Structures are given as C-alpha cells and as structure tokens.
Amino acid sequence: MTDELIVRREGAVGRLTLNRPAALGALTLGMCQAMTAALLEWRGDPAIKLVLIDHEGPRGFCAGGDIRMLADSAAAGAAKAFEFFHTEYRLNHLLAVYETPIATVMDGVTMGGGVGISLPADYRIATERTRLAMPETGIGLFPDVGAGWFLPRLHGRTGVWMVLTGARLATADCELLGLATDVVAAERLPEIKAAFAREPEAIEAILTEFEVDPGRAPIAAHRDEIDRLFAGDNVEAVVATLEADGSDWALAQLEAMRPKSPISSKVSFRLLSGLEPATIADDFVTEYRVARRQVMTHDFAEGVRAVIVDKDNAPAWSPPSLEGVSEAMVDAIFAPLPAGEEWTPLPGL
C-alpha cells in the first residue's frame, strides 16, 4: 500500500486500487510508475488470472492526470510534465497489449487519464454513477491517453463530437457506444469484486449475473445528427453546419464548443480525423509529440488559471478564434521530435 495506490493480490487476482479520493483519483507520476511495476511483475505469472483496476471513495474512479503538476512543471521547463506523459503513455500501452484479462471499474467520474486506463481493459464495468468524458479542449490540452486510437473507432462521428464539445456521457451512452462492456449497480460492487477474487476465470458469468439495464441512452436520439452535423473537413465547417442547422440541439452543441481553446479544438480534430495510425503504439508516438508542445502553450497555462486556479471560467485564448489558428501552427504541434526524444514503448513491447 502507498498513499496513492493500493497494490495487492487477492487469490488469483492482481488488484490495483487508485487511492486519491479527495482528488477524484487523479493520476500522479508515482501512481503510473507503481501500476506499471505491478503489471510487469504479474505479466506472465500463471498464478494471476485477472487484473482488477478500481478506486477508493464514492465520487469518482479517475478524473484524469495531475493537471496542477503539469502546469507547474511547464512553467519551470516541463521536464516533469514530459516524464509524466512518457510514463503514462507507456502504462496505457502496456494495458492495451497485456495478455492477462483486465477489468476496470469505471464507477463515477471517468475522464482523461481515467479513460486511458479504462478503454484498454477487456472488461469495462460501469455503474449508474458513471460519467465519462474527454474535456481537455476546455483547458487548452487535447484528448490523449490513446484517444487517437480508440475514439475514431466509435460509431460515426461520435469521437469528434465528444472532444469538441466535452460532452459527458451517461452510463447508458457508454454501453451503447461500447465504451462500457457491462453495467452493474454500484451498491453491489463489493459482492462483484469478492466474486472475482473467488473465481476470476468466471468473470463473464459473474458480470452476467449482476448485470442491470441502464435504460435508454440519451445519445441514442442524436446519433444521426452527430454523424451529419460533425462530418465537416475541419472545425470551421462543423461550426458552419451547426449554425446553418439552427435546431435547439445544434445550437446547444455550439454553445458547448465556444468556450474551448481554438488551437486545442483544431489539434483534437486532426488527431481524430486526419490520422490513421497503424498501431496503438504509433498513436502514442503522435500523442507524445502533441503533449510536449501543447503543455508549453499559452492556452494550457491560461486554461488551468481560468478553470482550476481562479475558477472564473473566462480564459483568454491565443489565438482567440478558430480562424486565427493556421494549418502551419497545427503542423508544428504534430511535427516529429528531435532524435532520441520520441516516445517509445516499454522494452520488449
């Protein structure tokens, strides 16, 4: 046990429990390092039949990364921020290629880095409290932790809609889109986890036994609209289509998009629409390039100030409009890093 992460074996289950309830499970460098070390220790161990990732506290699984640390590091040269991204993406990649089945319990708030340690899992377990989002454009960052691999694989233009608006998905939305594989009642999680520990190889039968109906997904009524209205070749085209449509739902999406960082919106759009990585590792190479540059921008510092520090929710973005963000500016953010500085997977992966 550490202050931030509880690592233990329960029978044939290796269990990783995020232990920062006051911070909604936000990931630190130490947590990523400890999770990676445990996973490497358990990898190939025939005594471990299942890895379970969960959290302490009732409010949320994981709200993302340690944003204040990233901002402080960026102001001091960003060495720690770069190390965090490199380490976090190695953890995300390890989870994606892990041979032993993984179950993640996405109970409550699941955002950013929390999504990154959820989507690679074989079993993604939601509850009625699950709220999943990738809201990074609101603080001058971009959807990372594998978003460039996973979100374009969602139905139609759902991934683009999610990142441009910062939409929060309800439990039924997560199941409909395949982001969650199973839905259970939060109050029964202790029973479910105990059942995993007793018989980890029966996880599918256990989840079937405890499965509940989350009801109709709110997004279901808007899937056609999302595909039609977010089909443009760039963010400006999406905005123009929404304005021309003029429906209440379209105008609500515009209102959600307007407070976001223009450069973050364009970077996020390209990540999800303009690239086709051959492997998830290739996606992490790209995301690491973007992360290193985005964390050093004015918009990230300003987003943290406006949303997290001063909480005035009035960021002064630079450039202040989509039209001010040139293709050359976006190209520079995606450009290769100097030799020896690119992201690499863990040795042997």
Determine contact, residues 144/91, Cβ cutoff 8 Å. no
Determine contact, residues 75/301, Cβ cutoff 8 Å. yes
Residue-wise DSSP of 69-124: HHHHHHHTTSHHHHHHHHHHHHHHHHHHH-SS-EEEEE-SEEETHHHHTTTTSSEE
DSSP symbol at 65: B
Please identify which of the residues 54, 136, 175, 299 carries the catalytic annotation: 136
First to last CA, the chain: 27
Q: Is 60 a known active-site residue? A: no
Please identify which of the residues 66, 144, 173, 299 carries the catalytic annotation: 144
For the chain, strand residue ranges (E) read 5-10, 13-18, 50-55, 60-62, 102-106, 109-111, 123-126, 131-133, 182-183
Residues 6 or more apart whose CB falls under 8 angstroms from that of 253 comprise: 161, 164, 165, 229, 242
Q: Is 3 a known active-site residue? A: no
Q: Is 133 exposed, middle or buried (0-12, 13-18, 19+ CB in 10 A)?
A: buried
Q: Is 154 helix (H, G, I), strand (E, B) or coil?
A: coil
CA-wise closest residue to 111 among 150, 175, 166: 166
Q: What is the dihedral of CA 330, 333, 337, 341, to 10 degrees?
A: -160
Q: Is 65 a known active-site residue? A: yes
Please identify which of the residues 14, 25, 65, 148 carries the catalytic annotation: 65
Please identify which of the residues 14, 25, 60, 113 carries the catalytic annotation: 113
Q: Is 159 a known active-site residue? A: no
* Active-site amino acid positions: 65, 113, 136, 144
